[in-house]
């Protein structure tokens, strides 16, 4: 009887110590990786906990490896001891006793070794690290030779050198959720959130969506005179003129109106022509921004799939996608009454495309060949528009109000009440 009690006491003490160590590792891991910058600064004054915080800053993966390595060893020893105790218990009470012992061991690890210490670590990280700091620092130093040995053994089994390291990063959707979570934080305004969201969305924007279309460009033949170009530039308030040879698709480059104005000699346009960067209209906006910054290109000519000129894009246009227009057009959306708006025909429709998914049956909205509100109306009409043309999208009525040549200038948007659809 005494031997039985002694054996059970040995099992009980061993399992208690191992369970306590498991709880220390689990709670410390959660506390360390739940630290806020403010908590980390407060812990920096503590000797042991401050040392852990410094390791966390310099080499978080090494610290995490030490914690997981220790927790793994402790849990293996705990399960081995628990299995032996359950086996002895089963010898006294039969198979059901061994089964009950195994379940108890599992529940102890789950609740007292994982859930409870992790919950305390999240809610009271400073307290946990103050208690476990010395223990974990000692383990980090003691386990270092074993971790080095294991790392060298693993290298023997690696093919082609070091194993690829997975890059820690956030997906676009995760980053947007993070922005939503911190939008009410002090010092983080709506403007900052919009700018960051625009940066995240930049890879989804194609050049053709934000370029200045060809019909709005100012281009002249290389034989044009300085006076003629300056006269037309003043009337149209242009800052650049594209110079072509024979036909406007055969571009030679561009000339800055400012340089042309201050040019005193009688040389032709050739002396003032700047080279052009040519990009396809399907190029991603973020890629173009990087290339223009790296190459020092102030503007780029956009070409279509046939090599013809489709439009032009400047660095200012790309930056405007991120930080907003430098001179925002206040009349792009004008509310006339409670349910009626006047919209600019060149209003980008990119932001509307998600809302239109499911509204246009049988079509992939993201693949539709329009980038502006005017293009959207034309795609619904299926023909060239005329003033007074009306199209409907659910409870939205879009009316072509004014035209400039063949381009829609303004559109009237009227919101019909939902019951009008019934």
**pLDDT value for 2:** 43
Q: Is the CA virtual torsion 130, 132, 137, 140 positive or negative?
A: negative
Higher-pLDDT residue of 12, 370: 12
**pLDDT value for 163:** 47
Q: What is the pLDDT of residues 252-293, one digit of tens each?
A: 888 888 777 777 666 667 778 888 889 898 888 878 888 888
Of the pLDDT bands very low, low, confident and very high (cuts 50, 70, 90), residue 138 is confident
What average pLDDT score do residues 183-197 get?
58
Low-confidence winner among 49-63, 188-202, 282-296, 385-399 (lowest mean pLDDT): 188-202
**pLDDT value for 364:** 46
Q: How many Cα atoms sit within 13 Å of 281 on the Cβ side?
A: 21
pTM of the model: 0.41
Q: How far apart are CA 39 and CA 123, in angstroms?
A: 12
**pLDDT value for 311:** 87
Please identify which residue in the block is written with the tokens 């005179």.
Answer: 225
Q: Which phi and psi (to 5°) does residue 187 adopt?
A: 85, -5
Q: What is the DSSP letter of 166?
A: P
- Check pLDDT > 50 for residue 189: yes
* % of the chain beyond a pLDDT of 70: 72
**pLDDT value for 251:** 84
Low-confidence winner among 20-34, 67-81, 197-211, 225-239 (lowest mean pLDDT): 197-211
Q: How far apart are CA 237 and CA 58, in angstroms?
A: 56
Contact 207, 189 (CB under 8 A): no
Q: Hey, is 212 helix, strand or coil?
A: strand
Mean pLDDT of the chain: 75
Q: What is the pLDDT of residues 10-45, one digit of tens each?
A: 777 888 888 888 888 888 888 877 777 777 777 766
Q: What is the pLDDT of residues 315-366, one digit of tens each?
A: 877 777 655 544 444 556 787 887 888 888 877 766 555 545 555 544 444 4
**pLDDT value for 353:** 56
Q: What is the pLDDT of residues 89-130, one digit of tens each?
A: 666 666 776 777 778 888 888 888 888 888 888 888 878 877
Tokens of residue 341, six digits? 């708006």
| Domains in the chain: ranges and CATH | 2-156 (no CATH), 172-204 (no CATH), 207-323 (3.10.580.10), 333-421 (3.30.465.10)
Short-list 412, 384, 380, 402, CA closest to 393: 380
């Amino acid at each position: 009887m005494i031997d039985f009690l002694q054996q059970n006491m040995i099992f009980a003490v061993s399992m208690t110590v191992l369970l306590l160590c498991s709880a220390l590792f689990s709670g410390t891991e959660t506390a360390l990786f739940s630290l806020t910058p403010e908590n980390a600064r407060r812990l920096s004054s503590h000797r042991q906990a401050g040392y852990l915080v410094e390791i966390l800053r310099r080499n978080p993966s090494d610290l995490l490896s030490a914690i997981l390595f220790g927790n793994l060893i402790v849990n293996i020893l705990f399960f081995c001891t628990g299995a032996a105790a359950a086996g002895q218990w089963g010898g006294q009470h039969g198979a059901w006793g061994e089964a009950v012992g195994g379940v108890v061991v599992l529940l102890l690890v789950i609740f007292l070794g994982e859930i409870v210490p992790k919950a305390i670590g999240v809610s009271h990280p400073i307290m946990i690290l103050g208690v476990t700091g010395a223990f974990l620092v000692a383990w980090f130093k003691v386990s270092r030779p074993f971790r080095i040995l294991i790392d060298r053994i693993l290298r023997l089994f690696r093919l082609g050198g070091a194993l690829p390291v997975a890059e820690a990063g956030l997906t676009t959707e995760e980053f947007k959720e993070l922005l939503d979570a911190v939008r009410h934080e002090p010092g983080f305004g709506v403007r900052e959130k919009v700018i960051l969201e625009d940066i995240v969305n930049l890879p989804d924007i194609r050049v053709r969506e934000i370029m200045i279309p060809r019909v709005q460009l100012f281009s002249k033949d290389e034989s044009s005179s300085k006076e003629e170009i300056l006269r037309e530039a003043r009337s149209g308030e242009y800052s650049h003129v594209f110079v072509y040879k024979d036909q406007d698709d055969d571009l030679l480059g561009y000339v800055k109106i400012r340089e042309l104005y201050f040019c005193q000699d009688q040389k032709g346009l050739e002396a003032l022509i700047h080279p052009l960067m040519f990009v396809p209209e399907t190029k991603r906006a973020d890629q173009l921004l990087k290339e223009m910054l790296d190459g020092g290109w102030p503007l780029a000519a956009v070409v279509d799939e046939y090599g013809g000129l489709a439009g032009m894009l400047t660095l200012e246009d790309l930056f405007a996608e991120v930080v907003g227009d430098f001179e925002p057009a206040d009349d792009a959306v004008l509310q006339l009454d409670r349910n009626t708006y006047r919209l600019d025909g060149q209003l980008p429709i990119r932001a509307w495309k998600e809302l239109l998914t499911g509204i246009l049956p049988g079509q992939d909205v993201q693949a539709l060949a329009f980038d502006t509100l005017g293009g959207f109306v034309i795609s619904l009409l299926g023909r060239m528009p005329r003033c007074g043309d009306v199209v409907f999208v659910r409870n939205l009525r879009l009316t072509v109000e004014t035209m400039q040549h063949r381009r829609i200038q303004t559109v009237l948007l009227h919101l019909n009440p939902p019951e009008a659809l019934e």
